Structure 1
Amino acid sequence: METHFHAQLDKMRLKVLEMAAYTQKAIEDACKALLERDGDLAQKVIDNDMQINLLECEIDDMSLRLLALDQPLAVDLRSIVGIMRVSVNLERVGDEAVNIAEKAMFLSTRPPLPFGGQLKELSDVALEMFRASIMAFREGDPDLARDICRWDSQCNALDVMVIKDLVNYMSKEAPAVERAVSTVLTSRSLERVGDLSTNIAEAVVFIVEGVSIKHRICR
């Protein structure tokens, strides 16, 4: 029974890593579509989102079967709960990828605003946080996970800077308001990817150490 349980738990971990791969491609392509003003690539991100949602449903079903049929011990229960948290946050990153892609499609058909460099800097940080969170999960590395938590303040600061500059720009360039608002929303989505990556990192610490760092400073 224990061997069967752990085999199923390993399958669930692999399914999460599969979901992570799809999600990583989605958020990377969404950022590329935004920065390169590629509406066709943005549409592909939107079209492929269903695959991420289906994988989340599969992981939910697997976790519920393990909980219902195998009555796991505390340490194994912790793994299941942590893996479910990772899956939920992956799905939300996928949603943010769609949000960014939708804004990228809109912005690609209109004159560019002078904020490409700032958006690239923010997207680079958000993507690095996401990639690192998946590596921390794959390797079971709580130290890397804690580092990701500390990076979140940098992502937040970049988002604030972009939004302040955009608000100032809108006050002087009224015809650009619609494009600027879309860019603000894009910046918030990128910041949200950083937050969700932090959530994944927190789940890794919980899985490995049984410690919740969600509501306190990472250490």
Structure 2
Amino acid sequence: MAKHLARDLEALQRQLLGMASRVEESVYHATKALETRDVRLAREVIAGDVAVDALENEILEDCLKILALNQPVAVDLRKTAAALSIATNLERIGDLAVEIAERVVALVGTPGLEAPGAIRGLADVVASMVRQAIDAFVSLDIRQAERVIRLDDEADRLHAEVIDELVGKMKRDPEVVEAGVSMFSAARHLERIGDHATNIAEDVVYLIEGEIVRHRPKSSPRGG
């Protein structure tokens, strides 16, 4: 039984890594499409969401099989529960990438509006948060998970910078308001991706320590 459980958990970890890689790519391409108004790339992101949804379903089914057939306890039970939550958060990140891509399609025919300079920085930070959160899960690295949690403050700062720049542009030129609203929405979706990466990191803390840290003040994780 223990050997089968170890094998199933290793397979589950590989599935999560594959799903995370696909989702991270979707976020990158959606943001690139936003910066360049590349509708073709945006539509590829939208079409790719079917595969992300299928991966989530596979992971959820495998988690349920592990629970039913292996009846894990202690850390193995927490790992299975964490995998369920991580898969859900990854699927939502994929949905947000699609929302960004849909904003690109909506921008077709609107007056040109250059993407705010901070939006690439915001996209890079949240993509890094997703990647580091998954790495923390794989390596059971609580310090890395807590770094991800702290990075959410940087994502929030960059999001505010993007919004301030967009508001200024819309005030100066009312013709770009429609495009600005789409950009505003896309920036919000990026910020929410950071929130979901934070959720994943908090799941890792729960997995390692058995402590639920969601909604805990960000100053409380240990340094490092």
TM-score range, shorter chain: over 0.9
Task: Report the equivalent of 2:44.
Answer: 44
Name the CA distance, whole Å, in 1 between partners of 2:36 and 2:13.
34
Structure 1 position 45, deviation (Å):
0.4
More moved, 88-97 vs 100-109:
100-109
Task: Report the equivalent of 1:84.
Answer: 84
Structure 1 position 189, deviation (Å):
0.5
Structure 1 position 42, deviation (Å):
0.7
* Number of positions where the alignment pairs a residue of Structure 1 with one of Structure 2: 219
CA 164–117 in structure 1, closer or farther in 2 if over 3 Å, else same? closer
Structure 1 position 131, deviation (Å):
2.0
Name the CA distance, whole Å, in 1 between partners of 2:24 and 2:139.
17
Structure 1 position 170, deviation (Å):
2.6
Query: What do the CA deviations read for 1:147-177 (whole angstroms, capped 9, x no partner)?
Result: 1111101111221222233234333422222
Task: Report the equivalent of 1:214.
Answer: 214
CA 139–36 in structure 1, closer or farther in 2 if over 3 Å, else same? farther
Task: Report the equivalent of 2:176.
Answer: 176
Name the CA distance, whole Å, in 1 between partners of 2:53 and 2:4.
27
Name the CA distance, whole Å, in 1 between partners of 2:172 and 2:195.
31
SS in 1 for 2:170: helix
More moved, 83-92 vs 133-142:
133-142
Q: TM-score, normalised by structure 2?
A: 0.91
Task: Report the equivalent of 1:95.
Answer: 95
The one-letter code of the counterpart of 2:96 is E
The one-letter code of the counterpart of 2:117 is G
SS in 2 for 1:72: coil
Task: Report the equivalent of 1:125.
Answer: 125
Structure 1 position 12, deviation (Å):
1.1
Query: What do the CA deviations read for 1:30-75 (whole angstroms, capped 9, x no partner)?
Result: 1111122211111000001000000100111111111122221122
The one-letter code of the counterpart of 1:127 is A
Unaligned runs of 5+ in 1: none
Equivalent residues of 1:38, 1:108 under 8 A apart: no
- Identity fraction in percent: 40
Unaligned runs of 5+ in 2: none
Equivalences for 1:107-146 in 2 at 5 Å? 107=107, 109-146=109-146
Equivalent residues of 2:27, 2:123 under 8 A apart: no
Determine if the alignment matches structure 1 residue 154 to structure 2 residue 154: yes
